A and B are shown apart, each in its own frame.
Chain A
Amino acid sequence: MVEEERAPVILQFAPFQSAVDEGFWRRLSSLKLDTLGIDQSPITITGKFELNLFAGFYSPCSHPQVSNHLTLLPESLPPEPGEESSSSAAAAVSRGNRNRCPVPGTLYNTNTLESYYALDKQSLLKAEARKIWEDISSGKAEEESAVLSRFLLISFADLKKWSFHYWFAFPALVLDPPATLIDLKPASQCFTLEEAESLSAACNEWRNSSLTADVPFFLVTIASDSHATIWPLRDWAACQGDGQKLLFGFYDPCHLPNNPGWPLRNFLALICLRWNMEKVRFLCYREKHGFADLGLSLVGEALVSVPQGWKDPHCVPNAVGWELNRGKKVSRCISLRQSMDPTRLAISAADLNLKLMRWRALPSLNLNNLSSIKCLLLGAGTLGCQVARMLMAWGVRKITLLDSGRVAMSNPVRQSLYTFEDCLNGGNMKAMAAVNSLERILPAVEAEGIVMAIPMPGHPVSTQEENSVLEDCRHLQDLITSHDAVFLLTDTRESRWLPTLLCANSNRITITAALGFDSYVVMRHGAGPLNYSSDIKSEGEETLSAQMGNLSTGGTDERLRLGCYFCNDVVAPIDSTANRTLDQQCTVTRPGIAPIASAIAVELLVGILHHPDGMLAPGEIATSHSGSSEQPLGILPHQIRGSLSQYSQMTLVGHSSNSCTACCSTVVSEYRRRGMDFVLQAINHPTYLEDLTGLTELMKSTSSFEVDWDDETDENDNDGI
């Protein structure tokens, strides 16, 4: 058989490959958190626990193009506390599983990346190899052959980043000199038809019995009558009859036609050390469709000899086996952030609802628009809290809240972002407490809190205060230009004046909600009266609404522009709390009003974002017959007024007034011309705005405004608390 003239060919083995199920890393994470703590001792899976769990699983190769991997599954690790029963059931199921031959392994999990890289890998490998060598020497490997494929895993679980650094080793005792190959070919070419049939039948029987299915090393004898028998390794003596062929079989995970797989290495070591064989005939057992396949299986013949040192019982054999990562000796790293990072999971779960809505009902729903829009909420009271929540429900992620107040004891029951804790020690700043709360609800929210009072007309400022008020004005202007949509949710009429003016100036989507005792009004302001050019902006890029506004405001007919909150007023905003009795100052609303108005305000924003004309869309009126609107979200009204006393709600349209103290072209032009001087004058001189816009004249002439809705002025436009 030996072709003498050729130089001996060294038998080369295809290395084992590892695969780790995601569930293994999850189980390891919770084990580390709950049980192990900072214990760095090796987790030896077998022996230590009552449950007979194993660390790795593999099965014979079953595909001509693909090798099987040694796989780690969640059940490779000890069960988590409280899980004993189910895991023992799972373990019972996995025993005798023909596709899961268990292999013992040792895991070293370190607490830091530094200690991971500092591990002495060569010593660890030698220690495992020594165990294998001892199991061979003691005869244990003949009783429990899976120990021949013992493996080693080092890991560092970075639970903050959900990444896992790891490295496998499949220790193989190095034969010196190496085994040389005499012959290797498909098993089908090595047997007579009768022998092949009998061998296949015997293998299939072995593989289908729950007693032997997961025993990966075995002996094969083929008697002179072609009858094949498979024996466990401990029956070595029984295989010594004369006239029969003897083969050393093993489950071969490798698919290659010219190389046996890794498990054969330690098997050869056993064969030469224990049985003093020099010429070994082996069977690389492989399957197809769950049955023995002698076309894929290989039969080979090799020459082996026992290394000198192995005669010494204290010998530490040479070993190799650290797994290569894409051909290189580097550690592997796997990231499970996508499926383990709770923040990411919360985002995708929240988005799921919206995607479902888009899929089922609103194909035109633009989720990108919603997640990228920046909303500025002026006021973080009853309305501000609820508007922020509704925005998040719609997938809005960029929310800025502005408020100058602190959380008071009476707030949490009505203002849905605050709790009792926020009221202690004088109360947290509302803007900050609201941001904290939003982040607790959804960590992915990009929320910002601004503690600032909004300068108001009719509240004169002293010379000392002047600079800080002007600073606030500029700050507010910057905030408005850097956002796409602004919600006016403060509790006084005059605090809405400056934001209304600034929004009209910079063409921002503006939505106002105001509350009475049992009534509410929600409206969207029309576009600004003048072209908004981006040079006026102090800084920042072109925002979404600025782009929308720039499209066509130039030609907008003043008469068709939708009105703002002040358009139907015949008085300029002044101090609305000064002349009231205490009862009136302590504004009260029915608790249901604010959530209703807040929800409508946000729905109105979503309507604007999905309307082809955006903020320029004309105001629509609800009709009795449904389905009249062309838009998937229905009509886009200008104003919604509702009352709980009658449980009624109506939609209204009010066009802009040429004498409006906040949004008419006279006021906006004057603001553009004089800037902060103009603002300061309006703040300090109660009649200045009325004089400027001609309201004073108008009131004298007793004529009234044409508005589509009731001309009764709204005295109850303050929200609660």
Chain B
Amino acid sequence: MDICSSWDGTLSSSDFRVAATTLSKKWKVINPVFPPWTWVPCPRRPFWVASSDSEVDGYLSLENFYQLSSNEVGHRCSIETQALNNLVDVLCSYKSSPAKEELVNCGKEEPVDNATLVQSDDQEMHFYDFHIVYSNSYRVPVLYFRGYQSDGQLLALDEIERDLPLNSLKILRESKWTFMTQEEHPYLNRPWYTLHPCGTSEWMKLLFLGGDSQTKDGPTIQQQYLVSWLSVVGQAVGLRIPLEMINNSCPLYPVNSVTLSNEVND
């Protein structure tokens, strides 16, 4: 597919598959530090995803992306809040349970074991899963994501926002194209956070067509689409995209405006 002025900024489902492959390959080569983007084939097709194209059945997934919080104070607050919540849970249990003495002192104590390392509390970590799902209605990729603590407790939207770099918050507040909501994941059928796709084709069109010097032997749209797209939506959710991935992929995009969040591990 060549870029022409009539292009509407969308992607066909088979092009999505091509773009997904390009993204995961490039990601692996350029930044092996991160967990990989892997294609998750879906054995069952949700009935509303009507597509004659069977190869697109699935989504691109990056999981266990973790963040050590850089903001010490905010971080401690969140731990304390959590501790408070736990305390509330415990108190509730006390109230409803006649066997409350079992709670702390569970029958016969375990024998004292000096071969067990007593660890000081690990730094509380937040993990993020990102899925890129193709939307047949909008004909664009859609980013679904969720955050959770190491024990699996899901993060609420305000907790996620506390993890985001300031730049992301600014984008979420002001930008016309990023609208974060909770919606059912099309394949997992559980509510995940997502960036609503109804503006995607418009800004993708701007991103590609705005470049005045698209070289003829440059990468094609279906190869570059997801990389460029991710460089934009990634910013909104604090997902750092290595600079090398963005270079040459979206002509209009000024490289120096890509903000790197410091807290992402190396």
Contact residues of A with B, CB < 8 Å? 10-15, 17-26, 63, 65-67, 69, 72, 85-86, 89-90, 93, 113-114, 117-118, 120-122, 125, 163, 165, 172, 174-175, 178-179, 256, 259, 265, 289-290, 318, 320-322, 325-336, 338-339, 345, 348, 352, 355-356, 359-360
Cβ-defined contact, A333 with B93, below 8 A: yes
List residues of chain A with CB within 8 A of the CB of B121: 326-327
**Chain A nearest CB: distance from B230 CB in Å?**
20
A121-B106, A290-B32, A352-B181 given; A23·B116 CB < 8 A = no
Cβ-defined contact, B103 with A331, below 8 A: yes
List residues of chain B with CB within 8 A of the CB of A333: 86, 89-90, 93
Interface presence of B102 (CB below 8 A)? yes
Q: Interface 1/0s, chain B 95-117, versus A by CB < 8 A?
A: 01111101110111111011111
Q: What is the size, in residues, of chain B's interface with A at 8 Å between Cβ atoms?
A: 55
In the bound complex, how far is the Cα of B156 from the Cα of A265, in angstroms? 38
Residue of B nearest to A177 (CB): B115
Cβ-defined contact, B181 with A336, below 8 A: no
In the bound complex, how far is the Cα of B190 from the Cα of A21, in angstroms? 12
Partner of B151, one of A329, A334, A336: A334
Cβ-defined contact, A121 with B44, below 8 A: no
Cβ-defined contact, B182 with A318, below 8 A: no
12 contacts between A and B (CB under 8 A): A17-B150, A23-B188, A65-B68, A66-B125, A69-B150, A114-B98, A117-B103, A122-B108, A179-B115, A339-B191, A352-B182, A359-B179
List residues of chain A with CB within 8 A of the CB of B43: 85-86, 89-90
Partner of A355, one of B66, B103, B156, B179: B179
Interface presence of B215 (CB below 8 A)? no
Contact residues of B with A, CB < 8 Å? 32-33, 41, 43-44, 66, 68, 83, 85-86, 89-90, 93, 96-100, 102-104, 106-111, 113-119, 121-122, 125, 146, 148, 150-154, 156, 179, 181-183, 188, 190-191, 196, 198, 265
List residues of chain B with CB within 8 A of the CB of A328: 104
Cβ-defined contact, B110 with A322, below 8 A: yes
Contacts A121-B107, A320-B110 known; list 19 others, CB within 8 Å: A13-B115, A15-B117, A17-B122, A20-B152, A22-B146, A65-B68, A66-B66, A117-B99, A122-B109, A178-B114, A320-B113, A321-B110, A334-B151, A335-B85, A339-B191, A352-B181, A355-B181, A356-B196, A356-B198
List residues of chain A with CB within 8 A of the CB of B265: 63, 65
Cβ-defined contact, B151 with A19, below 8 A: yes
Would you call the interface of chain B mostly helix, strand, loop, or mixed? loop
Cβ-defined contact, A330 with B103, below 8 A: yes
Cβ-defined contact, B68 with A122, below 8 A: no
Cβ-defined contact, A114 with B148, below 8 A: no
List residues of chain A with CB within 8 A of the CB of B106: 117, 121-122, 322, 329
**Chain A nearest CB: distance from B263 CB in Å?**
12
**Chain B nearest CB: distance from A53 CB in Å?**
15
Cβ-defined contact, B154 with A338, below 8 A: yes
Residue of A nearest to B177 (CB): A359
List residues of chain B with CB within 8 A of the CB of A122: 106-110
**Chain B nearest CB: distance from A224 CB in Å?**
34
List residues of chain A with CB within 8 A of the CB of B181: 348, 352, 355-356
A117-B97, A330-B90 given; A174·B115 CB < 8 A = yes
